[in-house]
Chain A
Amino acid sequence: MNAQELSKPALLEMRKVGKDYRGVAALKDIDFDLRLGEVHAILGENGAGKSTLVKILSGAVAPTRGEIRVEGQPVQIASPALARRYGIAMVYQETSLVPTMSVAQNLYLGDEKFFNRLRGAYIEAQQFLQSLNFPVDPTAIVQSLGTAKRQMVEIARAVRLKAKVIIFDEPTATLTPEEKHHLFALIDRLRKSEVSIIFISHALEEALDISDRITVLRDGAHIITGDARTFSRETIIRHMVGRSLSDELYGRATDGRKLRRAGETVLSVQNLSMQNVVRNTSFTIFAGQVTGVFGLVGSGRTETARIIAGVVKRDFFHGGDVRFQGKSVRYRTPREAVGDGIVYVTDDRKGDGFFETMSIAENIYLGQISGRNSRGFVASMSETRALAANWTNKLAIKALDGDSRVIELSGGNQQKVVIAKALVQKPKLIIFDEPTRGVDVGAIAEIHHLIATLADEGLAVIVISSYLPEILSVSDRILVSRQGRIVEELSPDEATSEAVMFAAVY
């Protein structure tokens, strides 16, 4: 960075900004500044606090403490509308456009006049898009556009609102190389017109290429900020994963425990494809072993698991092959997968894991009757209660009784109900997707113990997690997913944080 750039004034400053969720610090007194016309990359693992930081800046979340200054003036960004007024706009990974409206309508959304002349709006939008060199038809309906063009509309909207700061959250995750090239050219143009950019990405190469400065966050804390040219891929990874607290909590996989040896091949996934999310991925899962799957968000881990479990379908043409116990399978519904012995413990337990208004007993019983050999709609109250008592006891679910509603339980106990609902189906293969997300520390240890017990009993277990220490502590074998495919396999004794992260991002 030259002297001229260093002397540029800070457009945006955060001083000792923190955010607590129920007493737990998601962001720990962060100092951050953004200079006029710079591209500033914020990097970190999942859960490092990047999203919380930009949500505070965009007004989606209020900070618990600290001060924010825009152009030297202290401000309270209480809402996204206020953020826009201060010239801060956010371009989300999943765009926030209205898909059924045209490009022009989206551009002027929230800024409509009393009488709107559609033709005039189209002409104005056309001129505006052309001035940005965006080849987008203003009359096109947004849902008919590709990801890159949608992102162009979103950026155009930010520029039209005279944004001084544009925050890009994982802008390249779904873009083709050609589209990325266009996006980077645009960011360069914005930089030259003195718009400041905050750029969040898991792709370190991109961050190194495009940014002027880089800030690394870890476990909610600020680790380092510096000139992008002083960083390399290796130093960034070291800053991203060099945790100590987490290692103390989880330990290493090989510390004091014997790794389980692979049993029979239970699942063989061969050249599986689903659009551009799962890309020709192949791997094998063995009985009596915990296979950890690590990958950053968007690496296709969850989608692959959902295809295996029949929640979503692979590509209709040449979507690859899934062989469960040597037999080629293609499930149309999860019920068929459950019938064969595959269960999936979802990462979104509130959305897909349980019925929150139902009791623990009813939820577990629903798991029981979802198998193919169930008696369908006939529910036995005594069986329901016995089942709930059995599993509440077995998994140490802390509740007054089986009739307690699941919504009243803590996150850890809710997760145990979801797991009980899965185990009651007597699976041969169980897939845990982010099994300890939003779960307290005590329940984390219990869930990890349960996972180990299941593998010891001979089940094939897959644990998907974006939290590296968890993967290192529970797995007998680690698969690393990147850009829709498994790219590396490591044994826990050779899997250092750096090696796994290197495979996940490089």
Chain B
Amino acid sequence: MIPFRKAMDRWLGRGEASITTPPMDGAFRPNDRLDAAGAILETPAPDGLAITSQGLIVSSGRSLLRVDKGTSTPVASFDAEITALTGLPDGGAAVGLNDGRIIFVGGQYDGRTIAANARASCITALAPAMDGALILANGSATNGPAEWRRDLMEKNASGSVWRLEPSSGLATQLAGKLAYPNGLIEEGAAIVVSQSWRAALTRIAPGDGGRGVAVLENLPAYPGRLSRGADNVTWLALFAPRSQLVEFVLSEDRYRRRMISEIEADHWVAPCLRAGRSPLEPTQQGGVRQLGVLKPWSPNRSYGLVARLDGAYRPTMSLHSRANGRRHGVTSCLSFGGRLYFCAKGDGIVASCADEGSTP
């Protein structure tokens, strides 16, 4: 009966086969707060943020930069793109590279390199564990971090979360079959992971066999990096919007396969960190003014969104850069010294605004 029902639902486009996206209302009610935030650095593709003994550092391409009063100072550079960054309790930082290597900068393991693990070479996020270990999110078993759109379009769920001993380099898998884990945060003995393609946050606790329990589901955008703020607040960067158009394409297997094989990835009907740069894009991001606000007339492929979550991971407020905004593709955010910093990778901007706390 259930397979028959599923087949009927798929044919009729209802139930789990509904092509729908959650509304941006309540805590996700749109505003222009990301655009109102002051830019502190313009650099190509800023991706990760971390607090170290040197202060706030940001990863941009192959470089690590220290951000201070509107200027940036190079901290380190590497021979591959940086794909993940985290600050460590000892004041250092851990950097994940595109080829799967992990390199420590500063702190007790300064200069140490852990070789790529063939089973975890798509490093999308890093987080320190309380016992000194490093938690690692491996986005995909088949695609690299730069190929995240391909991973979405292939509807993969091959990601995993690993625990890594910095001293020995020993890696232990904590959970698998995750749909692009892209953000991590430690919560006592458990870990909360953002699964981008499931648009959900999942808690993975020891002893649950890596299955995990959803703590927040049905997000209106694809969740990325997580960071802890004051008062048990969690900040979540959501790097691209979900849209009915993309959900529809995801449900059309033959179309998707042909699109992947025949069209350049930049021109797929897929989310991106910044849309509207090429006339060859499938949907042009224009807008119409409604109620004094510019709204898109075609589905948004890029957007800027940061959410503030309470102790139970319920969204309490959010900051947006809308269709006409210039802070799209926010890949990470961090609260530090009473300010919220974020990287709008799509627009190459690091910006900050006051961390005003929750607004109902």
Contact = CB atoms under 8 A, between A and B. Distances in A.
Interface of A: 259, 261-262, 264-265, 268-271, 282-284, 286, 316-321, 323, 326, 328, 330, 477, 479, 486-489, 491, 502-503, 506
B23 A328 contact: no
A496 to B, nearest CB: 13
Contacts of A261: 316, 360
B14 A270 contact: no
B44 interface: no
A270 B25 CA distance: 11
Contacts, number: 73
A164 B14 CA distance: 51
Given A268-B22, A321-B20, A486-B23, 9 more contacts: A264-B314, A271-B19, A271-B21, A282-B22, A282-B23, A284-B22, A318-B14, A326-B218, A330-B14
Given A318-B13, A321-B14, A330-B14, A489 B29 contact: yes
B20 A316 contact: no
Interface string B1-31: 0000000000011111011111101110100
23 contacts: A261-B316, A262-B314, A268-B22, A268-B218, A270-B20, A282-B21, A282-B22, A282-B23, A283-B23, A284-B25, A316-B12, A317-B13, A318-B14, A318-B18, A319-B14, A321-B15, A321-B20, A328-B18, A477-B26, A486-B23, A488-B291, A489-B25, A506-B291
A284 B14 contact: no
A271 B244 contact: yes
Nearest to A259: B360
Nearest to A258: B360
B246 to A, nearest CB: 13
Contacts of B244: 271
Nearest to A323: B218
Given A268-B218, A318-B13, A323-B218, A284 B23 contact: yes
Contacts of A477: 26
Contacts of B27: 262
A323 B21 CA distance: 11
The prevalent SS among residues of B at the interface is: loop
B68 interface: no
B217 interface: yes
Contact of B15 (A270, A328, A491, A502): A328
B15 to A, nearest CB: 6
A489 B16 CA distance: 27
A318 B12 CA distance: 6
A271 B360 contact: no
A506 B292 CA distance: 11
A362 B225 CA distance: 57
B314 to A, nearest CB: 7
Given A318-B14, A488-B291, A326 B217 contact: yes
Given A262-B360, A284-B26, A317 B12 contact: yes
A283 B314 CA distance: 17
Contacts of A319: 14
A293 B59 CA distance: 45
A454 B23 CA distance: 25
Nearest to A329: B15
Candidate in B16, B26, B29, B290 with the most chain A CB atoms within 10 angstroms: B26
A330 B23 CA distance: 19
Contacts of A283: 23, 25
A278 to B, nearest CB: 13
A262 B291 contact: no
Nearest to A269: B23
A261 B13 CA distance: 35
Contacts of A284: 22-23, 25-26
8 tightest Cβ-Cβ pairs between the two chains A and B: A282-B23, A270-B20, A321-B18, A271-B20, A318-B13, A321-B20, A261-B360, A284-B26
Given A268-B23, A271-B21, A284-B26, A330 B15 contact: yes
A271 to B, nearest CB: 4
